Amino acid sequence: MLSFLSRIRFIRWLNTVEKTPGLSVNKTVRLLVKAMLFAFLAVSLQTLLVGLKIPYANTIYAQIGILLLIYIPFFRWMNAEMVYTRPQAVARGKDGKPLGKKLASKAKKVKYAGVKGKGPKFR
């Protein structure tokens, strides 16, 4: 039971993302562990295919295919904490207030552009 919980804690630690930019010891260790898991999975899959005597499993093309097949899903997971995402900026008008209501009223004006008179009144 305890080993099951420690594995869950390990997986949770491995998947947590620090939002602070720059490298820390924790980020570096986490990235190294992810790289070792990637290498272990690639080698074990290659060994399994060769052990099952799959034709052409020992060629360079099969090895490149296996690496690409594994690397594409791993790429985002491995680099998740290396990419710093900025907080979304709120669009503001000339008066410094958010443009939320202004954009909605402008959309109504554009909707009834070319109509003589005013559009219907919305309450």
pLDDT in tens, 74-99: 887 777 777 666 666 666 666 666 65
Question: Model pTM greater than 0.75?
Answer: no
Rounded to a whole number of angstroms, the distance between the first and last alpha carbons of the chain is: 61
Q: Is residue 52 part of a domain?
A: yes
Q: For residue 98, give the DSSP letter.
A: B
| Within a domain: 89 | no
Q: Total structural domains in the chain?
A: 1
At 115, the pLDDT band (50, 70, 90 cuts) reads: low
Q: Please report whether residue 28 resides in a domain.
A: yes
User: Could you list the residue range(s) of the whole structural domain that residue 10 is in?
Assistant: 2-78
86 falls within a domain: no
Helical axes 25-51 vs 60-78, angle rounded to 10°: 150
